[in-house]
Amino acid sequence: VDLLNECSVELDTSEATNIVAMFQYCGTTELPHIDMSRVITSVSGLFSNCTNLVRIVKVTYTENSACYHNNAYQLCRALEDVEFAGVIAGDMNFEWSPLLSEATLQSLISHLKDLAGATKKTLKFHADIEAKLTAEQKATISALNWTLAFA
């Protein structure tokens, strides 16, 4: 049973400062808006092992966050659609998500922090995503001082 959708549950995460593994192993196909604008520690494992997850309505990040995002989307193999908001300033890893839509990719790129003059961060994608990224998107990622990697 997909309780979040069946019961129309609304989650208010706008005041959360640490949401490690909050949805780990969830069986739902869709999650509501997840506001991480006040998270200052980690979102490690946030959506990990959500193998049925297809859509996240919106995820709001903050550029002031020192969050570790690297395995937040671990094993999200069905993930297609995510609307990003705020500013993404930490490494992101989607190596387990070969189905990300072009709209999701553009939303992600549009919210990357410009790291000119700062330490590079890495965007890691499943190998299938490389063909979905346009030359312009790859150039934008590079111009913002991000490293693009595929696994």
Residue, of 35 and 54, whose pLDDT is higher: 54
The mean per-residue pLDDT over the stretch 19-38 comes to 86
* CA distances from residue 34 to 39, 43, 64, 142 in whole angstroms, order as listed: 11, 11, 17, 28
Confidence of residue 20 (pLDDT cuts 50, 70, 90): confident
For residue 5, the model assigns a pLDDT of: 54
Query: What integer is the mean pLDDT of 27-46?
Result: 82
pTM confidence score:
0.89
Q: Where residue 1 falls among pLDDT bands split at 50, 70, 90?
A: very low
Task: Report the share of the chain in percent with pLDDT over 90.
Answer: 59
For residue 8, what are the CA distances in angstroms to 3, 4, 11, 55, 71? 8, 6, 10, 15, 27
Task: Over range 67-72, report the average pLDDT.
Answer: 70
For the stretch 77-125, pLDDT in tens is 999 999 999 999 888 999 999 999 999 999 999 999 999 999 999 999 9
Q: Are strands 34-35 and 121-125 parallel, antiparallel or unpaired?
A: unpaired
13 — pLDDT class (breaks 50, 70, 90): confident
- Which residues have CB under 8 Å from 56's CB, separation 6+? 30, 31, 34, 47, 79, 81, 82, 83
Comparing C-alpha atoms, which of 78, 82, 94 is closest to residue 130?
94
Amino acid letter, residue 12: D
pLDDT of residue 98: 98
